Each structure stands twice: as C-alpha cells, then as structure tokens.
C-alpha cells in the first residue's frame, strides 16, 4: 500500500479514561474505496476508536490524517463537512422529523441561511429526488412521511444509513450496523454496503461483531484487544492467527 | 356584548403573536425571556415614529416594526444568549433576560423623551387613531380585521417556513437535538439566530396593534408578559401550536371573566389574578398543557434531550 491511495490514517492513537487505557498506540489505515473491518472482543476499544475517528473524543496522543490533511483537532461537524460520516450502534435520529426530513437534513450541502429560502426550487427538487433514490435503495420509500419514531429498530438503522449515504461521504465510519438486526436483513445490509463501496467508491471502516456476515466483504481486518492491535491482515490470515483465537476464547 | 367579543378577539390575536415569539426563545435557548415584552414596545415606537415623521397610518409601518423588532431580538441573541447557550442553567438565563429587559425598557424611556423633544408629540400614554369598518349593521374597529388578517398570514407563513422549507427542517432538527444537528453539518447558531429574529419580529408586530386598544408607555411591554407567559404555559411549554391555542384561551377567558367580575362589582384591577390562577392551575393539574393532549403530533416542537 502506497501512501497515495491512503484516505484515512490514525497514527499511534492513545486514549485513556482515568487509569484505564482504552487505546494504546493504535495505528489503522483505510485506503481509498476499501472496506476495512475492525473486530475484537467486548471492551477491546473498538467503539472508543470510532469516537476518536469521528471527533466525539479527543485522543491523548497520536494523529489523524484524512486525505492528507491533519484532522486531529477538528470537531465532528467539520469532519462531517469534509466527508467523514458516522453511524452509531444505537441510531441517532430526529424522532419527530419525518423519514424524508431526516435524510434531507444531511443532503443539504448548501449552508442554511435566511437567503437560501430564495434559492431555486429546482435545487430543492433535486435534493428530494436524491433523498428518495437512497430511501428506495433501502426500501424506506414507502414510509417516507412517517415520523422517525414510528419506525422499527431495523428501519431506524436503515434510516441512519440512508442519512449517511445521502451526504455523499468519502469515509463511512460504521459502528455495528448489524447489531440487533435479524440475519436476513443483516445480510442485505452488508450486500448493500459493498455495493455502495463498489459503485460509489466510498471507503468504510466497519466495527462489527457478526464476523460470519461481515468477514467475507472485508479487504483488510484489524483485531483489537485491550486497546491494542494484536493482529492485522487479510480476512483469511487474521482468522488463522492463533493470537486472535486466544483473544476471543481466552487462554 | 359585541364590544366585549371584539376586545377579546383583538387581545387574543396579540397574545398569539407574543406567545409564539416567546416559545421560539424558549425552545431554542431555553430562555424564559423577560425582555420579550420590550420587543413589542420597540414595534410600537417604530410604527409611532414613522407615522408621525412620514405620515400614513401605523398599520402601514408594520413591516418596518417587524424588521426592526426582529433586529433587536437578533442582537439580543448574538450578543447575550448565544454566548451563554449550553453553558448555564435556566435560572441564570432568566435573570439575564430580566437584566436585558431593564436595559431595553429604560432605553425606550430615553427614546420616548428624545422623541417628545424632537417631534413635539406625546410619547407616553398615547393611542393610535383607528378606522372603522361597517359589518353586519354595526361599526367595528379596523384593528379587528387588520390584526386577524396579519396573525393568520404570519402564522401560516411560519408554518410553511418550518414544515415546507429546508431551513425549517434544519430549525426543527436543531431545536430537537442541537448536538446531533451540529454533527450533521447544520449551523445551529444560524438557525437559532433566525428563530430569534422571528421571535422579536412577531412581538414587535403584536406591539403595533396595542395602541389601537389601550394607552401605551415603554412599561406596557412588561405588563404584557404575564398573559403571554400564561398563554405559553397553558398551551404547553415548548409547543408553538399550543401557544396559539393557549393565547386564545387566555385572551377570551381573561376578557370575559374580568367583565363578569365587573358586573358583580369587583374591580377589574383583579384581572391579573385570573391569569396567575390559569398558570398555577395548569402547572398543578396538567403541567404539559394543551399540547400534551396531542403530544408529539402536529405542530409541536420541543427538545427531547
């Protein structure tokens, strides 16, 4: 891997909470258009890593580079504008806004100002069309006018995904998109993610427990244990690594 | 009897604009804004000054009052409440708004003195001349159709703004969860600034109608606060639709009950008692207010975090 096709690089990132070391010099690279998977037992620091990557948490040391730019000090919304978009383990939606409105919110690249009221209706129609396309892809188009709080748990996950996609991200940070979703739907979501990656070239960093479904779609895998990367490589190589089995199964 | 109904309706129209404006300040920055009445008085003095200087009825200057009142409110947000947002508690914000009220109110007093010297007109305890309209065999004051039309138009526009435009979606998202909206690239500061502009603009518009009914002074805004807070409380704190309903409920019951009291020989000076009673009873019996009855559905914006 040359540094040219590297989209995102977390270099020697450390983070502790009081005496607890959650991340210990973690280095993770996501190349352009790649689906990178991060796995590890509970409490290994995966979610902490994502929170550092999306800007919710500040690392104690280390640096984050995105498209060659140092983004370590940028707040979440600034990273969002650069194209780093996060979905959460528990979907974070606006419950009283409709499904379409939840998606539209992320579609507006134009900044809201009183003047944008006067902007062309056509621009607005294009946004709505784009939002509907994404909703259709995730079969949410039939519930477009329902408030988000009326959706099922699975649909909420899909809606958060739709909102992430419509913002035209360059890097998607996905925190357990398959958790709490039935196996059939989980398979579909994974299929969908790899299709988006193929067709739109969106790079993804996926944190996931469901290895049975996620592993075969990944290009590269990092294994975290006690806040350290204990193994990395192709999915096949990582599964064979005795250290990984030990981390998951104990001694 | 007709007079009573006309009075109640005009008063309720005023309260509706005031209450929606107050709610906008409440749901964005959680400020129980005691300076809200002063925004109304800014509207009064803008319309009065322009109608004395440039002629025309004060009705013609409603757009100017709207814009100027909005501007004052916008500055209050940018200079005072935005720097305090998410940094302090509700009580502090309320006390800050009381301080702002004093600054604005005494600035208005200074302005009233200057205006009196400058234009040689009474600038305290004055009223506006109204026109009369013939309707159904009786003569009605023009402020009735005028205020009803303006309230209907403004509330309808506000609804369209909030529910049919991109800015509206961003505003509602920022109100519901400012942190998440910010993370999705919404500039919470800008959409809240717009809300505050509207808050003051609606109050200033309400203010222009006030001198058609009663004599006004810079302190009149302060006395409008009680029924405005009552309307917002009875309607359900944080709900714009509830504020409108609450305004008509308070407006009508206050007017009609005060009239009934007068009939049995009790002074109308006790009128505020009825309004306070409405607040107390609502908070004791059903603190969610009218909008709690349809909570979450329809025109109800509130912060859920």
Task: Supply the pLDDT for residue B107.
Answer: 98
Mean pLDDT of A16-43: 93
Measure in Å the smallest separation between the Cα of A170 and chain B Cα atoms: 14
Q: Which residues face A205 on adjacent strands?
A: A36, A173
Residues of A whose CB is below 8 A from B296 = 96, 147, 149
> Tokens standing for B112?
């009233």
Burial of residue A130 (CB within 10 Å: 0-12, 13-18, 19+) is middle
Q: How confident is the model at residue B34 (pLDDT cuts 50, 70, 90)?
A: very high
Share of chain B above pLDDT 90, in %: 78
Mean pLDDT of B101-127: 96
Instruction: Please report the DSSP string for B251-270 in residue order.
Output: HHHHHHHHHHHHHTT--GGG
pTM, 2 dp? 0.86
> B304–A92: do the CB atoms touch at under 8 Å?
no
Share of chain B above pLDDT 70, in %: 96
Asked whether the beta carbons of B162 and B28 are under 8 A apart, the reply is no
Asked whether the beta carbons of B34 and B231 are under 8 A apart, the reply is no
Give domain limits for chain B: 2-217
Least confident of A83-92, A240-249, B212-221: A240-249
Mean pLDDT of A188-202: 91
pLDDT tens track for B171-219:
999 999 998 998 888 889 999 999 999 999 999 999 999 999 999 999 9
Nearest CB neighbour to B167, from listed A81, A97, A112: A112
Measure in Å the smallest separation between the Cα of B159 and chain A Cα atoms: 14
Nearest CB neighbour to B296, from listed A80, A96, A101: A96
pLDDT tens track for B133-185:
988 788 899 999 999 999 999 999 999 999 988 889 999 999 999 989 988 88
Q: How confident is the model at residue B112 (pLDDT cuts 50, 70, 90)?
A: very high
d(CA B174, CA B179): 8
Looking at per-residue pLDDT, the higher value among B198 and A123 belongs to: B198
Tokens 């992430």 appear where?
A: A164
Pairing relationship of beta strands A61-66 and A6-17 according to DSSP bridges? antiparallel
Nearest to B301 by CA among A94, A195, A55, A79: A94
Nearest CB neighbour to B183, from listed A80, A112, A116: A80
- Residue A3 in this model has a pLDDT that exceeds 60: no
In Å, what is the CA distance from B222 to each residue of A22, A28, B37, B147?
55, 61, 5, 21
Best of A50, A55, A77, A165 to mutate (most B CBs within 10 Å, chain B) = A77
Nearest CB neighbour to A94, from listed B177, B190, B300: B177
pLDDT tens track for B229-264:
999 999 998 899 999 999 999 999 999 998 998 899
d(CA A217, CA A213): 8
Residue A34: strand, helix, or coil: coil
Nearest to A96 by CA among B247, B82, B291: B291
Task: Supply the pLDDT for residue A119.
Answer: 54
Residues of A whose CB is below 8 A from B170 = 105, 108, 112
Share of chain A above pLDDT 70, in %: 92
Q: How confident is the model at residue A84 (pLDDT cuts 50, 70, 90)?
A: very high
Report all structural domains of chain A as residue ranges with CATH numbers, in order of start: 1-83+169-251 (3.40.50.300), 94-111+118-167 (no CATH)
Residue A171 phi/psi, 5° resolution? -135, 125
Mean pLDDT of B42-67: 97
Question: How big is the CA angle at B258 (ends B256 and B262), to the nearest 5 degrees?
Answer: 115
ipTM: 0.80
Best of B73, B77, B170, B184 to mutate (most A CBs within 10 Å, chain A) = B184
Q: How confident is the model at residue B268 (pLDDT cuts 50, 70, 90)?
A: confident
Measure in Å the smallest separation between the Cα of B204 and chain A Cα atoms: 19
Question: How big is the CA angle at B127 (ends B123 and B129), to the nearest 5 degrees?
Answer: 125
Under 8 Å CB pairs connecting chains A and B tally to 75
Mean pLDDT of B104-129: 96
Count CB atoms within 10 A of the CB of residue A112: 24
Tokens 């609502």 appear where?
A: B282
Burial of residue B285 (CB within 10 Å: 0-12, 13-18, 19+) is exposed
- The A residues from 171 to 230 touching B (CB cutoff 8 Å) are none
d(CA A130, CA A124): 10
- Residue B297 in this model has a pLDDT that exceeds 50: no
Task: Supply the pLDDT for residue A245.
Answer: 84
d(CA B234, CA B242): 8
Task: Supply the pLDDT for residue B295.
Answer: 65
pLDDT tens track for A132-182:
999 998 889 999 999 999 999 889 999 999 999 998 899 999 999 998 888
- Residue B77 in this model has a pLDDT that exceeds 50: yes
> B172–A94: do the CB atoms touch at under 8 Å?
yes
Those residues with Cβ within 8 angstroms of residue B166's Cβ, 6 or more apart along the chain or in another chain? A104, A108, A112, A116, A124, A127
Task: Supply the pLDDT for residue B18.
Answer: 98
Task: Supply the pLDDT for residue B138.
Answer: 85
Asked whether the beta carbons of A44 and A55 are under 8 A apart, the reply is no
Task: Supply the pLDDT for residue A111.
Answer: 45
Nearest CB neighbour to A92, from listed B180, B185, B186: B180
Q: Does A57 touch chain B (CB under 8 A)?
A: no
Averaged pLDDT score across all residues of chain B: 92
Task: Supply the pLDDT for residue B28.
Answer: 93
Residues of A whose CB is below 8 A from B197 = 114
Nearest to A223 by CA among A199, A207, A200, A212: A207
> B172–A81: do the CB atoms touch at under 8 Å?
no
Q: Which residues face A229 on adjacent strands?
A: A224
Task: Supply the pLDDT for residue B266.
Answer: 87
Task: Supply the pLDDT for residue B200.
Answer: 98
Measure in Å the smallest separation between the Cα of B127 and chain A Cα atoms: 35
Question: How big is the CA angle at A233 (ends A229 and A237), to the nearest 5 degrees?
Answer: 115
Residue A59: strand, helix, or coil: coil
Q: How confident is the model at residue B1 (pLDDT cuts 50, 70, 90)?
A: confident
Best of B166, B167, B240 to mutate (most A CBs within 10 Å, chain A) = B166
Q: How confident is the model at residue A71 (pLDDT cuts 50, 70, 90)?
A: very high
Q: How confident is the model at residue B305 (pLDDT cuts 50, 70, 90)?
A: very low
């Amino acid at each position: 891997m040359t540094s040219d096709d590297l989209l995102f690089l977390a270099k020697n990132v450390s983070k502790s909470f009081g005496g607890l070391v959650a991340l210990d010099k973690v280095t993770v690279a996501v190349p352009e258009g790649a689906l990178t998977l991060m796995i590890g037992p509970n409490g290994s620091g995966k979610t902490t890593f994502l929170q550092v990557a999306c800007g919710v948490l500040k690392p104690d040391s280390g640096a984050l580079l995105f498209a060659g730019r140092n983004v370590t000090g940028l707040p979440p919304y600034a990273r969002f504008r650069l194209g780093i978009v996060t979905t959460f383990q528990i979907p974070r939606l606006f419950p009283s806004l409709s499904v379409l409105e939840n998606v539209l919110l992320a579609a507006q690249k134009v900044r809201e100002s009183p003047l944008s009221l006067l902007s062309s209706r056509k621009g607005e129609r294009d946004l709505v069309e784009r939002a509907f396309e994404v909703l259709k892809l995730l079969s949410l188009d039939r519930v477009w006018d329902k408030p988000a709080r009326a959706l099922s748990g699975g649909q909420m996950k899909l809606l958060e995904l739709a909102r992430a996609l419509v913002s035209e991200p360059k890097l998607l940070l996905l925190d357990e998109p398959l958790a709490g979703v039935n196996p059939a739907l989980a398979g579909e979501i994974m299929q969908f993610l790899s299709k988006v990656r193929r067709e739109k070239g969106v790079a993804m960093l996926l944190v996931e427990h469901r290895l049975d479904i996620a592993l075969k779609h990944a290009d590269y895998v990092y294994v975290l244990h006690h806040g350290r990367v204990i193994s990395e490589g192709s999915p096949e190589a990582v599964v064979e690594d005795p250290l990984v089995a030990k981390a998951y199964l104990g001694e | 009897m007709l007079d009573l109904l006309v009075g109640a309706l005009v008063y309720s129209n005023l309260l509706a604009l005031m209450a929606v404006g107050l709610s906008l300040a409440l749901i964005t920055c959680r400020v129980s804004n005691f300076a809200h009445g002063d925004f109304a008085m800014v509207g009064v003095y803008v319309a009065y000054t322009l109608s004395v200087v440039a002629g025309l009825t004060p009705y013609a200057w409603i757009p100017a009052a709207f814009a100027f009142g909005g501007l004052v409110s916008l500055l209050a947000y940018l200079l005072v409440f935005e720097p305090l947002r998410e940094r302090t508690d509700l009580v502090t914000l309320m006390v800050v708004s009381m301080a702002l009220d004093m600054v604005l109110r005494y600035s208005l007093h200074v302005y009233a003195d200057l205006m009196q010297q400058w234009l040689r007109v009474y600038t305290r305890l004055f009223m506006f001349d109204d026109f009369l309209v013939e309707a159904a065999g009786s003569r009605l004051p023009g402020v009735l159709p005028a205020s009803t039309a303006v309230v209907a138009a403004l509330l309808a526009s506000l609804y369209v703004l909030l529910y049919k435009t991109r800015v509206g979606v961003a505003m509602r998202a920022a109100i519901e969860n400012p942190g998440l909206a910010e993370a999705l690239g919404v500039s919470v500061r800008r959409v809240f600034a717009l809300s505050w502009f509207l808050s003051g603009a609606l109050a200033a518009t309400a203010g222009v109608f006030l001198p058609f009914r009663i004599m006004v002074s810079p302190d009149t805004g302060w006395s409008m606060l009680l029924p405005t807070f009552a309307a917002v409380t009875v309607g359900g704190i944080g709900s714009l639709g509830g504020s409108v309903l609450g305004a008509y409920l308070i407006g009508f019951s206050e007017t009609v009950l005060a009239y009934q009291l007068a009939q049995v020989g009790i002074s109308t000076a006790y009128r505020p008692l009825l309004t306070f009673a409405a607040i107390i009873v609502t908070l004791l019996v059903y603190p969610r207010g009218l909008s709690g009855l349809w909570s979450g559905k329809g025109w109800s914006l509130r912060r859920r975090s």
